[in-house]
Structure 1
Amino acid sequence: MKQNNLKTWFKSGTPWVWMNAGAVAIAVVMTLGLLLVIATRGLGHFWPADVIEADYQMPGQASRVLAGEVVQLEEVPRARLAASGLPVTAEGGEFMTRELLKVGNREVYGADFSWVVGEWLANLRTPADLTVLERREWGNFYGYLLNVKESGQLVAEGEAAWGELQRRIDRVDALHKDIVTLEKQDIGRINHGLERLRLQGRKLELQGKLDAAAQADLDAERAQWDAEYKVLETRLVELYQAFNRDSVTVRTVDGREQEISLGKVVRAFQPNAMSFGDKLGFYFIKLWEFVSDEPREANTEGGIFPAIFGTVLMTLIMAVIVTPFGVIAAVYLREYAKQGVLTRVIRIAVNNLAGVPSIVYGVFGLGFFVYVLGGSIDRLFFPEAAPAPTFGTPGLMWASLTLAILTLPVVIVATEEGLARIPRTVREGSLALGATKAETLWKIVLPMASPAMMTGLILAVARAAGEVAPLMLVGVVKLAPSLPLDGNYPYLHLDQKIMHLGFHIYDVGFQSPNVEAARPLVYATALLLVVVIATLNMSAVYIRNHLREKYKALEH
């Protein structure tokens, strides 16, 4: 009886339902766990941790004072520490604690991270006046504030130095913004105008039209640009003099004094003296800086806004390119092509293209788009720029086109499936009412298939936004100093190289000279990439659901 009940239970399909439900639950838990690990390790980097000060006494050596942030703790076998050359004795347990301290002060200690043995740390303390200077270069500096100077002259010292330091950092920050605006926007506009003028003169020369009158016009316009540049250059020199005027003297915990120009300091704070509310406010400031600022210190400090901008812009351009081509190809295969051997072969080829490794598309994009197509465009339309390439070099356009070719099979297959699901009676009813085949396709079939098109676009965006390998060949670089969208004609510079979140993760994680400083930024950038992809996908899903509700009545 029990055996019959067991057979009936298996035949009912209930075990497979539970197995599928369990598999889905495990997948969801694993995904959420992965996101939680990434978020914890990435977002925790921006919290202003307390800075400890301690006496470090290695057996047989003199005691020295250390200060820094505890980044990592781990239990290490005592034998392993002894094998590494540390003076570890046989006394004690089998394991010892090893701590990774961010000690900063790279120009003093040579490295801003140091491993120490926890059992050798004594007299741990968190002095309230221990100051952290976050710098534009060389990482953090930890020490005690002694005084503030202006042009080498003492301005404030002791307790008065802290307030004076904050006021002067605000002043330096404002000057830095003025300098960046002047260099990137105003002087950048002049450089763009001078380059355009040079190319215009070269073009006239190649065409044999560079006569005395044309040369005079070019010289007059160049003189105007030069005069404007001299004014801005004078202003820039004044800003830099004011920018580098102030300095601060800091004493390290082991008694060494260091004078640091405030032009190199981003902010100064005392984490041990900060309340929870102060730390929370500081945390959100750092988080906003991460998503809105430019990278610095070999991409291990600052923000990643250029990478966010490049990723989103490239994905949008890819979507604009791949959607019409994919839809047209699917419409032809489903609505117009004769359903024979050739059509089946084409469909098989499209399905196989979806499984080709992405690096192959990158090699194709480099060979065809960059060298063949881009080189031809340069010879036809930009001969005055030779031998410097304009479109004959990796850039935004070729990166977007390469991703469009990579994701084209996904859009074709999804659109074809959507077209196949539309009832034949809908087409016949439209034709019976006097509509042509083209009108039926444009006004009835395609609108009803639009949710399927959006599904293909969602899949294309999800794959394209996370690709890295092909982009390394066709337009993505480690650092792009300017955005491809600015106020200079033609405003959108499709020939310019860009930054990308996926490549940024690879560069910071595997090419950074400072691995310990880069590690938390790898997690933070990975989390941001997931958020960007999810945002793009959710936008497409919303549009798809809206279209599905709009045309649901026609399906019935």
Structure 2
Amino acid sequence: MKQNNLKSWYKSGAPGVWMSGGAVAIAIIMTIGLLLVIASRGLGHFWPADVVEADYSIPGQAPKVMAGEITQTEEVPRARLAASGLPVAEEGGEFMTRQLLKVGNRELFGADFSWVIGEWLSNPRTPAELMVVERREWGNMYGYLINVKENGQVVAEGEAAWDELQKRIERVEQLHAQLARLEKKDIGRINHGMERIRLEGRKLELQGKLDATAQAALDARRAVLDADYKVLEAQIVELYQQFNRDSMTVRVSDGRESNIVLGKVVRAFRPNAMGPLDKVGFYGIKLWEFVSDEPREANTEGGIFPAIFGTVLMVMLMAVLVTPFGVIAAVYLREYAKQGPLTRVIRIAVNNLAGVPSIVYGVFGLGFFVYVLGGSIDSLFFPEAAPAPTFGTPGLMWASLTLAILTLPVVIVATEEGLARIPRAVREGSLALGATKAETLWKVVIPMASPAMMTGLILAVARAAGEVAPLMLVGVVKLAPSLPLNGNYPYLHLDQKIMHLGFHIYDVGFQSPNVEAARPLVYATALLLVIVIATLNFSAVYIRNHLREKYKALDH
């Protein structure tokens, strides 16, 4: 009886349902777990952790005071520590505690991080006066504020120095914003204008039209820009004098004092004196800085806005390029091409292209788009820029085109499947009502297949946004000085190199000289890349669902 019940249960298909449900549940749990690990390790980096000060006594050496953030704790076999040359006693437990301390003060200690033995630390404390100074270069500094100076003269010291320091850092931040605007926007506009004048003059010279009148007109335009530049230069010199006016004296854990110019300081804060609400507010500020600011310190500090902007812009351009080509190719193969051996070979080739390694597309893009197509465009339309290439060098356009070629098979296959699902009766009904084949195709068939097209676009965006290998060859760089979309004509600079979130992860994780400082940013950037891809995909899914509801009545 039990055997019959078991056979009936197997024949009912219930085991398959349970296995499928279990597999889906495991996949969801693994995905959520992965995201939680990335989020905890990445987002935790921005929390203002307490700074610990303790006495560190290495056997056989004079004790010293160390201060910093405890970023990692692990158990290490005692024998392993002894083998590394540390004066570890043979008696005791099998394991000892090792902690990674972020000590900062790189110019004094030589490194931002230091491994210490937990058992050798004593008298740990978290003084409220111990501050963290976040700098534009050389990483963090940990120490006690002694005084604040203006032009070398002490203006505040002791506890009164803290409020004065905050006021002057706020002033310096305003000056930094003014300098950034002048140097990037205003000076950038003048440099762009100067380059355009130079290229116009060179073009007239090549055409034999550079006469005295044309030269005078160019010189007049150049004189106007020179006058504007001199005014801006005077403003920048004055701002830099004010920018470097203030300084502060800091005493670090080993007793040494260091003078820091406030122009190099981003902020100073005392995490040990912060309450929970203060830390939450500070955490929000750091998160916003991460997504809105520019990187600094070899991409291990600051924000990643240029990488976000470059990724989104490149993916959008890729979508604009790949959609019409993919749809047209799919329409021809399904609606116009004679179904025979040649068509089947083309479909097989398209399916096989989807499995080609992405680096191959990068080599193709570098060889064909950059050198052949870009070089030809330069020789035809930009001969005045020679020998410096305009489009004959990796840039935004070639990166987008390379990704479009890479994702083209996905769009073709998805669109073809959508076209194949449309009943033949719909086409015949449209033709019977007097519509031409072209009218039937563009007004009936393609709108009904648009949800499938959006599915292909979703898959294309998901793959393109995470690609790194081909982009390293066709336009993505470690650090781009300006965004490819700005106020200088022609506004969208397709020839400019860009930053990308995927390449930023690779660069920070594997090329950074400061591995320990870079590791949390790898997780944070990876989480942000997932969020960007998910946002783009959800936008496309919303459009697809809207189209599906709109044409649902025609499907039945």
Q: Give the TM-score category using the shorter length.
A: over 0.9
Q: 2:31 aligns to what SS in structure 1?
A: helix
Q: Name the residue aligned to 2:155.
A: 155
Q: Deviations over 1:390-425 (max 9, x none)?
A: 000000000000000000000000000000000111
Equivalent-residue separation in structure 2 for 1:219 and 1:451 (angstroms): 57
RMSD of equivalent CA atoms: 0.5
C-alpha separation in 2, matches of 1:221 and 1:62: 70
What aligned pairs does 1:74-473 form with structure 2 within 5 A after superposition?
A: 74-473=74-473
In 1, Cα distance between equivalents of 2:392 and 2:229: 30
* C-alpha distance in 2 between matches for 1:116 and 1:159: 32
- 1:130-162 per-position Cα deviation (integer Å, ceiling 9, x unaligned): 011000000000000000000111110011100
What is the CA-CA distance between 1:90 and the residue it aligns to?
1.2
Q: Equivalents in 1 of 2:336, 2:381: separation in Å?
A: 37
* Map of 1:35 onto structure 2: 35
Aligned mates of 2:9, 2:159 — CA distance in 1? 80
CA offsets 1:193-241 (integer angstroms, 9 cap, x no match): 0000000000000000001111111111111110110000000000111
Report the AA paired with residue 247 of structure 2. Answer: S
Aligned residues: 556
Q: TM-score, normalised by structure 2?
A: 1.00
Query: Counterpart of 2:516 in structure 1: which amino acid?
Result: E
SS of 2:361's partner is helix
Cα distance, 1:3 vs structure 2: 2.1
Alpha-carbon shift at residue 553 of structure 1 (Å)? 0.6
Distance (Å, rounded) in 2 between the aligned partners of 1:21 and 1:90: 54
Paired amino acid for 2:245: R
Alignment partners' CA distance in 1, 2:136 and 2:290: 14
Report whether the alignment pairs 1:20 with 2:20.
yes
* Mapped partners of 1:549, 1:74: distance in 2: 55
Question: How far does residue 13 in structure 1 lie from its aligned partner after superposition?
Answer: 1.4
Determine helix, strand or coil for the equivalent of 1:144.
strand
> What's the counterpart of residue 10 of structure 1?
10
Aligned to 2:512: 512
Shift in Å at residue 9 of structure 1? 1.7
Q: Distance in 2 between matches of 1:508 and 1:253?
A: 29
Tell me by how many angstroms 1:510 deviates. 0.1
**Secondary structure of 2:349's match?**
helix
Q: Which moved more, 1:267-276 or 1:214-223?
A: 214-223
* CA distance in 2: counterparts of 1:244 and 1:323, whole angstroms: 53
Q: How far apart, CA to CA, are the structure 2 residues paired with 1:512 and 1:315?
A: 26
Give the Cα–Cα distance (whole angstroms) in 1 for the partners of residues 338 and 488 of structure 2. Answer: 50
Output the CA distance in 2 between the equivalents of 1:80 and 1:528.
Answer: 38
Distance of 1:43 and 1:227 partners within structure 2: 48
- CA shift, 1:2, in A, is 2.1
Aligned equivalents of 1:483, 1:85: Cα separation in 2: 50
The residue type paired with residue 25 of structure 1 is A
The alpha carbon displacement at 1:286 in A equals 0.1
Tell me the CA shift for residue 8 of structure 1: 2.1
Instruction: Give the C-alpha shift of residue 6 in structure 1.
Output: 1.9
The aligned counterpart of 1:58 is 58
Alpha-carbon shift at residue 59 of structure 1 (Å): 1.1
Q: Percent identity?
A: 85
CA distance in 1, matches of 2:7, 2:201: 88
Instruction: Say which SS state the counterpart of residue 392 (structure 2) adopts.
Output: coil
CA distance in 2, matches of 1:407, 1:503: 19
Q: Deviations over 1:274-328 (max 9, x none)?
A: 0000000000000000000000000000000000000000000000000000000
Secondary structure of the 1:530 match is helix
SS of the residue corresponding to residue 220 of structure 1 reads helix
- Provide the rounded CA distance (Å) in 2 between the counterparts of 1:302 and 1:147: 27
In structure 1, C-alpha distance between the alignment counterparts of 2:443 and 2:219, rounded to whole Å: 57
- Displacement after TM superposition at 1:11 (Å): 1.8
Consecutive unaligned residues in structure 1, runs of 5 or more: none
- Structure 2 Cα separation of the partners of residues 289 and 228 of structure 1: 32
- 1:358 is aligned with what amino acid? S
Provide TM-score, normalisation by structure 1.
Answer: 1.00
Q: State the one-letter code of the partner of 2:505.
A: I
Distance 1:44 1:517 in 2: 13
CA distance in 2 between partners of 1:124 and 1:217 (Å): 73
Which amino acid is 2:254 matched to?
D
Shift of 1:69: 0.2
Q: Which runs of 5+ in 2 are unaligned?
A: none
SS at match of 1:91: coil
- The alignment partner of 1:90 has SS state of coil
The 3-state SS of whatever aligns with 1:55 is strand
Which residue identity does 1:373 align to in structure 2? L
